[in-house]
Amino acid sequence: MENLIFAFNAVAPSFCIVILGNVLKRRGFLTEDFVTKGNQLCFNVLFPLLVFFNLYDAVSIDFTYIKIILFCIGVIFISVGVLTVSIPRFVKDRRKIGVMIQCIYRGNFMLYGLPFSKALGGTQSLTLATSIMAATLPILNIMGIFVYAAFADTAEKPSVKKAVFNALKNPIIWGVILGLIFYILKLPMPSFLHTSGNDVAKIATPLAFLFLGAQFEFRTARRNMKELAIGLIAKLIVVPTIFLWLAVHFLHLSGAELIPVFIFVSAPTAITNYQLAIQFEADYELAGDYLIYSMIFSAFTLFFFIYVLRNMGLI
């Protein structure tokens, strides 16, 4: 019961913000024009700042965990490769394909990774989670932009050249690039800029959830039931099961080392996926459905995996 309450408390705050956004929209405080401009603000300014400061402030990667870090990077590339081949076999709408791929392979490790790791595994798990985040965040952001660019809603076949061009036009990519430059070169930043920039970046996630609530409608979930069901089962059950099995049987992970990997592969869909769907004119309604329903159901799937792993003596 304690683990279930913990999982619920991790999900509930964001879900409450979504509900507030929906209420504010119904009361007329969040107009359509306001929400549209707000989403543009999140994507063009706030999320690039958030990515930049997450990288700039990242603790140095602990390379004693190199095999685990490489495993998590492998999870990203293997998942994208398999999904890029398999999803188009079931879904023909290109606006949905990119959304499904992105929402299945990328979880919200920024939100769930550190608190869950600290609560379940203590300092050692927290250190490993920080190293995983620093190593995978640039890859996740770059890969996400390439996925959406490759499956943009056009009549043309996916082009690597155009995907690269579209990726370089994306503000989040420049947040990643500048963040890496400042991180690697250890470039100093005036204290007042660091404080003000961090303060602005922190409003990105709650504001995006607020605008998501303003756009959320239950009828879109009914309209996307097939895609939503496939994606949620894959994201919350299939992907964690496969990669946890590999982590346990091939890397022989357990205890504090397994916990951040468990969160990495089983966390609900990231808010960035929804923002990218809007930017690339993909099916942002489907992306919003994934975001909300994965948050809800993850409270149960996370509890289930924690219960099973503890019963097996692995955590």
Would you state the pLDDT for residue 82?
Answer: 94
Would you state the pLDDT for residue 84?
Answer: 92
Contact 143, 176 (CB under 8 A): no
Say whether pLDDT at 257 is over 60.
yes
315 CA to centre of own chain:
24
Would you state the pLDDT for residue 208?
Answer: 80
Say whether pLDDT at 112 is over 90.
no
Would you state the pLDDT for residue 35?
Answer: 86
C-alpha angle with apex 312: 306 to 314, nearest 5 degrees?
Answer: 70
Q: Quick: pLDDT tens for 200-228.
A: 988 887 888 788 788 766 665 677 788 88
279-305 CB burial, b ≥16 within 10 A, e <16: bbebbbbbbbbbbbbbbebbbebbbbb
Contact 144, 276 (CB under 8 A): yes
Q: Quick: pLDDT tens for 171-186.
A: 877 887 888 788 888 8
Q: Quick: pLDDT tens for 117-162.
A: 877 787 778 778 878 887 887 888 888 888 888 887 654 555 556 6
Rounded mean pLDDT of the chain? 83
Element (H, E) at 133: helix 109-150
Q: What is the pTM of this model?
A: 0.75
Nearest partner of 25 among 12, 15, 36, judged by Cα: 36
What is the topology classification, in CATH, of domain 2-311?
A: Na+/H+ antiporter like fold (1.20.1530)
Would you state the pLDDT for residue 36?
Answer: 84
148-182 CB burial, b ≥16 within 10 A, e <16: bbbbbeeeeebeeeebeebbeebbbbebbbbbbeb
Report how far residue 274's alpha carbon sits from residue 168's, in angstroms, rounded to the nearest whole number.
Answer: 19
Report how far residue 140's alpha carbon sits from residue 77's, in angstroms, rounded to the nearest whole number.
Answer: 10
Report how far residue 225's alpha carbon sits from residue 122's, in angstroms, rounded to the nearest whole number.
Answer: 39
Parse the chain into domains and list their residue ranges: 2-311
What is the percentage of the chain residues whose pLDDT exceeds 90? 23
